[in-house]
Structure 1
Amino acid sequence: MSSVVHVAIHSSQFPEQVRRDLEESIRTRRVNHKFHYDSVKQTQKWLALHQAYSPSRTDDNCAATYDLSFEGAARHIDQAAVHLIGLGCGGGQKDTRLLRLLTENGKLVSYTPSDVSSAMVLVARETAVAVVPQTKCYPLVCDLASATDLAEVIDQQGKAEDARLITFFGMVPNFEPGSILPRLAAVLRPKDWLLFSANLAPGSDYLAGVRKILPLYDNELTREWLITFLLDLGVERTDGELKFTIEDDPAGSGLKRVAAYFHFNRDREVGLDQERFVFKQGEAIRLFFSYRHTPERVKKLLGQVGIEVEEQWVANSEEEGVFLCRKL
C-alpha cells in the first residue's frame, strides 16, 4: 500500500473560507456543524459516539435494513461499472458494505468518499480500500452546504460512462432542508440512483416519537463531542451549561428537531487570531441540531426538489429509514 494518499480539497474548505465560516458561527451564535468534525480529536469522538448510539451500530435490525437497501439498489444497476459517491461519507462503513456487495455481484467499482473533514475522508478511504483498488478511490474534502459548483466537481470524479450511485447517509438531519435538498437535487443526473437515509420519529405521534429518541443525543458522549468546539476556542466547562431541547423548524416546515445550546452563566471572552469575541452572561450559542422525519415527510421534502422515492426500508424500531430515489 502506498504511503502517499492524494486527496482533493474543494475551495469551500480552503483556510480563508473556513475562517470566514468560523467567524460567522461565533458572531451568529449558530455553530456550523462542520466544526464538530474539524480535528482528528473531534472525528475520533464522533466515531465513538456513533458506535455507541447509532441504531445502525446498536440495532441488528437497523443494520439489516441498510443491507436490504443495498440489495435493492444493486438490483437496479445493469451497467458493469459503478461509481459510488458517498456524500457525507463519515467513517465509510456503510459505503464499504455497499461496495463489497456490488463487487460480489460482479461490478467494477470506484469510490469517491466526500466529507467536510479531511480526517473523516481518510478514515473512509482506509475502510474502503479493502474492497476498492487504491487507484479507483478519489477522496474529496468538500463543504456540501457552501459548494455551489458541487455538481460540476462530482462530474469530474470517476468515468462518465459508469453508473452512479450516490449515498447520503445520516446527513439530512443536520442541515436546513430548504438549503441542502436543492443542492443534492442539483448533483443528481437523470440516470443516477440515490440512497438517502433519515433519522425518524417512531410511532404515530410525531412529537412523542421525537421525545422518545432524545436520550440518543442527551448523553455524555454527545456532550463531550459537542463541547470540544467551545473548549478549543478557550471556553471553560464552568462557564455555562449544555442543554438539549426539542424545537420547531424555524422555516415552518412542520418538522421538529433536537437542538443543543450552551448557556453562559458568566462573561467569557475568546480570541480568534487578532479578533476578540465576548459571550455575555445569559447568552446561549447553538452547538447542534438534528431534525427528525417520518417517511411521509421525507417523500414530501424530496418531491419538492424533484426527487422521487422508488423504494423504502424502515427499521422495526421506526427510528431510521433508507430511501432509494431518482430524479423526476
Structure 2
Amino acid sequence: GLYQDAYAAALDRLPNTPLHYVSLGCGGGRKDALFLQRAWPHLPQLHYTPTDISAALVVETMLHIQPSFPELACSPYVLDLEAEPDLNAELAPHDPAASVRLFSCFGMIPNFDYQTFLRYVRRTLRRGDLLLISANLSPEPYPAAEAYIAPQYDNPHAHAWYSGLLDSLGFPMPQVSTSVRAVPLREDGQIWQLQVHTAFLQPVTLTVYGESFHFNPDERLQVFFSTRFTPEVIPEIFANAGLQVIDAFLFESREEGIYLCRASA
C-alpha cells in the first residue's frame, strides 16, 4: 500500500544512525505498526514516541504495539498539538545519541488551521529530520469537486455522527439542526472546506462545568470542518510553511496524498 511505500521512501533517505520515530496523532497505532514492522529489524537503536490528544488512543496504541515489539523503547505522550507545546523539550530526553527523527502526521491537517499547524511542525524539525504527512485532496478545484466530495460529509451516517457529538456535549437534539456547506478558501478554488454548522431552532442554554452558554435562534455554531487541497497546490502550501516536499504518494482517487518533507534550507 501507499503508506508502506511512503515509509520505505523515508527509511531510504535516513542515515544509518539511531532513529527517533515520533507519531503526531497516533490514533490507535495501526499505521505506526506498519512502520515499526519495516524498521525494527534494521534499526535496533529505535525509539518510538506516540502522541495524541486522546489518552485512550495513546493507551490503545501502546496495547497494540508493545506485544509485537516488547524490547522497543517507547515514551508515549498525551499532547494537544493545537496548543503548540514545546515538542523539542519533550522529545530531547528520549533522543538516542546522534539520532535523527522521523515524524509522522496522518489525518491532522484537514481539521487544523493548516497554515498555523504546518509552521508549528516546521519549527519542531531539526536539520536532517524528515516528516511524513498526509492531506485530504481535491482532485479538481472548487466548485467542480464539490459534487462528489461533499456527499461524504452530507449523508445520514455523517449526520448521525454530528448529532452524537452534539448530544454528548449536552445539546438538546430536538432544538438543533445541522447543515453542511462547501466554502472556497482561495478564489481559484485550489483550497476549500467542507463546514458543518449547527443552527438553533429556539433559545438553548448549555451548562458546562458550572459555566452557562446561551445560544439564540439566529446563531450558528461550527461543529466540524475538513480542508481540501488540490495536489497541485500542496508544494506551495508546504513551502510557505518552510517545508520542502521531496516525495509524494497519491492514492488513485487523488483524494488523499502522503508527502515526505524536510525543513527548507
State the TM-score, normalized to the length of structure 2.
0.91
Aligned to 1:211, which of 147, 159, 174? Answer: 147
Deviation of the 1:78 alpha carbon? 2.6
Match of 2:31 in 1: 94
How is 1:48-63 mapped onto 2 (pairs within 5 angstroms)?
A: none
Aligned to 1:276, which of 209, 212, 227? Answer: 212
In structure 2, relative to structure 1, the CA distance for the partners of 1:224 and 1:107 (3 Å cut) is farther
Task: Find out whether 1:150 has 2:87 as its counterpart.
Answer: yes
**SS where residue 207 of structure 1 aligns?**
coil
Contact 2:47 2:94 in 1 (8 A): no
Match of 1:287 in 2: 223
Distance in 2 (CA, whole Å) between partners of 1:222 and 1:107 is 43
Which region of structure 1 is more displaced relative to structure 2, 270-279 or 143-152? 143-152
Match of 1:169 in 2: 106
Distance in 1 (CA, whole Å) between partners of 2:6 and 2:142 is 24
**SS where residue 185 of structure 1 aligns?**
helix
CA RMSD of aligned residues (A): 2.2
Task: Find out whether 1:110 has 2:43 as its counterpart.
Answer: no
Q: Which amino acid aligns with 1:113?
A: P
Which region of structure 1 is more displaced relative to structure 2, 80-89 or 150-159? 150-159
Task: Find out whether 1:222 has 2:169 as its counterpart.
Answer: no
How is 1:31-46 mapped onto 2 (pairs within 5 angstroms)?
A: none
Match of 1:262 in 2: 198
Deviation of the 1:152 alpha carbon? 2.1
Q: Which amino acid aligns with 1:327?
A: A
Deviation of the 1:253 alpha carbon? 9.3
Which region of structure 1 is more displaced relative to structure 2, 216-225 or 119-128? 216-225
Contact 1:168 1:196 in 2 (8 A): yes
**Structure that is richer in helix per residue:** 1
Identical positions, percent: 30
> Once the two structures are superposed, what CA deviation does each residue of 1:207-245 show, in whole Å capped at 9, x if it has no partner?
322432222222344333333332133212211211111
Deviation of the 1:68 alpha carbon? 1.1
Q: Which amino acid aligns with 1:165?
A: L
Contact 2:18 2:96 in 1 (8 A): no
Distance in 1 (CA, whole Å) between partners of 2:78 and 2:192 is 30
Distance in 1 (CA, whole Å) between partners of 2:187 and 2:77 is 31
Match of 1:244 in 2: 180
Contact 2:66 2:72 in 1 (8 A): no
Task: Find out whether 1:321 has 2:257 as its counterpart.
Answer: yes
Contact 2:195 2:226 in 1 (8 A): yes
Contact 1:260 1:287 in 2 (8 A): yes
What runs of 5+ residues in structure 1 fail to find an aligned partner?
A: 1-63
Aligned to 1:310, which of 221, 227, 246? Answer: 246
Match of 1:297 in 2: 233
**SS where residue 208 of structure 1 aligns?**
coil
Contact 1:110 1:132 in 2 (8 A): no
Distance in 2 (CA, whole Å) between partners of 1:128 and 1:224 is 32
> Once the two structures are superposed, what CA deviation does each residue of 1:294-321 show, in whole Å capped at 9, x if it has no partner?
2232211111121100011111111111
In structure 2, relative to structure 1, the CA distance for the partners of 1:253 and 1:212 (3 Å cut) is closer
How is 1:117-196 mapped onto 2 (pairs within 5 angstroms)?
A: 117-133=54-70, 136-196=73-133
Deviation of the 1:99 alpha carbon? 1.1
Q: Which amino acid aligns with 1:262?
A: T
Distance in 2 (CA, whole Å) between partners of 1:108 and 1:90 is 24
In structure 2, relative to structure 1, the CA distance for the partners of 1:248 and 1:187 (3 Å cut) is same
Deviation of the 1:251 alpha carbon? 11
Q: Which amino acid aligns with 1:121?
A: V
Deviation of the 1:69 alpha carbon? 0.8
Q: Which amino acid aligns with 2:234?
A: V
Distance in 1 (CA, whole Å) between partners of 2:148 and 2:79 is 33
**Structure that is richer in strand per residue:** 2
**SS where residue 259 of structure 1 aligns?**
strand
In structure 2, relative to structure 1, the CA distance for the partners of 1:93 and 1:175 (3 Å cut) is same
Tell me the matched-pair count. Answer: 264
Deviation of the 1:149 alpha carbon? 1.8
State the TM-score, normalized to the length of structure 1.
0.74
In structure 2, relative to structure 1, the CA distance for the partners of 1:284 and 1:214 (3 Å cut) is same
In structure 2, relative to structure 1, the CA distance for the partners of 1:187 and 1:135 (3 Å cut) is same
**SS where residue 127 of structure 2 aligns?**
coil
Which region of structure 1 is more displaced relative to structure 2, 76-85 or 126-135? 126-135
